[in-house]
Structure 1
Amino acid sequence: MAHILIVEDDIQFREMMVKMLEGDKHKVTMANDGFDALQKLTTLQPDLIITDILMPTIDGVEFIMQLNEQGSHIPLIAMSGGRRAISPEFNLDSASLLGVKSTLAKPFSRADLRLAIENALA
């Protein structure tokens, strides 16, 4: 199965995703935000990155932009639950313009996650 880097600042949501992915036999590495993920990417090469959009320090859009600037070819899935003034769709549309392979609006089902991973790795 795939080695997946999850970039998510919400600890409970991140841990839930890890359980789902490890249940599907994926190897999972976790990062708290874009800054943490960029540091981890200096020493690891995942098959896929799943990143939240709204995070502290370096948010998902900035993280994706930095990966693009570095010439990264790691497939990306963006996810967002939005905020009061910003819809998840707006965040995910922004990520799509930056070249992510799939998007997920929170909350999503395990089936939605599996389909997004399948599409991103195809």
Structure 2
Amino acid sequence: MARILIVDDEESIRRLLQGVLTRAGHEVDSAADGNEALAAVRARTYDLVVTDLIMPGKEGIETIMELRTSQPAVKIIAMSGGSRVCALDYLTIASQLGAAATLEKPFMIDALLGAVNAAVGGSATHRPPA
């Protein structure tokens, strides 16, 4: 079981991913943008952050850059829809910044679960709630 933070400005996506990952046995929190995400990682320890890249406020690329500085051990999965070219550019940048995996929206749930399992593997340990 991993402790995962989902970051997306679309509430329906946050709820969907939170439900899928919770059913897969993970402990999942969510944030609506990069600012909320960074506040969450200051308050709790996460094994994995799954973040959208195009959001109002603090975008995903900025969030990844700050996470790499403040929480270098946290694994990151980046996801983006945007236009096809724009999404691929952002996903390439996220990968270059150290994202463990990238997912182009829309993606299959199996792709998400595979990326999560690959990112956290057996190294995630359950911690009591903070």
Taking structure 1 as the reference length, the TM-score comes to 0.93
Match of residue 62 from structure 2:
62
The reply on whether 1:87 has 2:86 as its aligned counterpart is yes
Runs of 4+, deviation exceeding 3 Å? none
- Structure 2: distance between partners of 1:34 and 1:119: 23
Question: Residues 7-18 of structure 1: matches in 2 within 5 Å?
Answer: 7-18=7-18
Match of residue 115 from structure 2:
116
Give per-residue Cα distances to partners, 1:39-74, cap 9 Å, x unaligned. 111110011110000011100000011112225210
Residue identity over aligned pairs, in percent, reads 39
Q: Which amino acid aligns with 1:66?
A: E
Q: CA deviation at 1:76?
A: 0.3
Count of residue pairs the alignment pairs up? 121
Question: Residues 1-122 of structure 1: matches in 2 within 5 Å?
Answer: 1-83=1-83, 86-122=85-121
Unaligned runs of 5+ in 1: none
- Structure 2: distance between partners of 1:10 and 1:83: 16
Cα root mean square deviation, aligned: 1.3
Structure 1 window deviating more from structure 2 (8-17 vs 62-71): it is 62-71
- Structure 1: distance between partners of 2:10 and 2:120: 25
Taking structure 2 as the reference length, the TM-score comes to 0.87
- Structure 1: distance between partners of 2:119 and 2:82: 22
Unaligned runs of 5+ in 2: 122-130
